Amino acid sequence: MTSAADAARDAVPVMIGYVTLGLAAGMLLVAAGLTWWWAPIWSLVIYSGTMQMLLVPLVAAGQPLAAIALSTGFVSGRHVFYGLGFPLHRVRSGLLARLYGVHAITDEVYALLSSKDRQTMSGRYVLVVEALCHSAWITGTTAGALAGTGLARLAGERIELLGFVLTSLFVVLAIENWRAHPDAAVLCAALVASAAGFGVGGSTALLVSLLVLAVGLVLLFVWRRSAEAQPGGAQPGGSQGDDGAHGPTDNGAYGEAPC
């Protein structure tokens, strides 16, 4: 794990996924009425798959900048902790390289680097993995936006039907999260948050949903911690005994799918 060839070999699976999802993100951008060249700019600067797709309807609807910023903090705030756990000490190529190393950390890249031995991982390996994955995302979104532009000329207003891409993404995330970590309490919190957003409606619907969900997850975390502290107490939402004493991290309380 020292050469660019090693990095390219390990990054291929992530790159394939990024190109595929990027195509959908680019088409969604054009379907919302935005110009195709926003795709490479956003992919270069934002580089957060879920938030980049969510940003499209927010911008298209003319949401206030403060609401977009707060939504970004809720959805992509985890990237801050990726930067803290990032093997930055392996990158010795200067300040700009280290800053890019933190910027280019995503869920998949972090998972890939975390599975490797940090003592044998070179700074070149880390940066090449990140650059290749980032390039794949930029390529995918740009190609999708260009394809969507051509499709828009043929389909006209029907291009808006591609808006189902974002809904489909979150449906798949929710299903996968439930299959991996079924948790009825988290699901109920998500449903309450969704109902609150629908009830408020308008430009603040998403923000209200995120706030309600955040409060719900914090209360759930405190409740389960207090139950764990009780001698012989059963874990809320789980089974009794050591095998059922799952904390919030294990049961998906911090997962993305409800968001």
3-state secondary structure 127-144: HHHHHHHHHHHHHHHHHH
How far apart CA 126 and CA 133 sit, in angstroms, is 11
Predicted confidence band of residue 259 (pLDDT cuts 50, 70, 90): very low
pLDDT tens digits for 209-249? 878 888 998 999 999 898 888 876 555 554 444 444 444 44
Residue 127 has pLDDT above 80, yes or no: yes
Least confident range from 12-21, 80-89, 152-161, 199-208: namely 152-161
Nearest to 2 by CA among 123, 133, 134, 115: 123
Q: Kindly list the domain boundaries of the chain, sorted by start residue.
A: 4-160, 181-244
| Percent of the chain scoring above 90 in pLDDT | 12
pTM: 0.65
> According to the model, what pLDDT value does residue 163 have?
58
| Percent of the chain scoring above 70 in pLDDT | 78
How far apart CA 194 and CA 258 sit, in angstroms, is 9
pLDDT tens digits for 38-52? 999 999 988 887 788
Residue-by-residue DSSP string for 222-256: HHHHHHHHSTTPPPTTS-SSGGG---TTTTTTT-S
How far apart CA 35 and CA 160 sit, in angstroms, is 14
Burial 84-100 (b: 16+ CB within 10 A, else e): eebbbebbeeeeeebeb
Residue 178 has pLDDT above 50, yes or no: yes
Angle at 184 between CA 181 and CA 185, to 5 degrees: 105
Predicted confidence band of residue 157 (pLDDT cuts 50, 70, 90): low
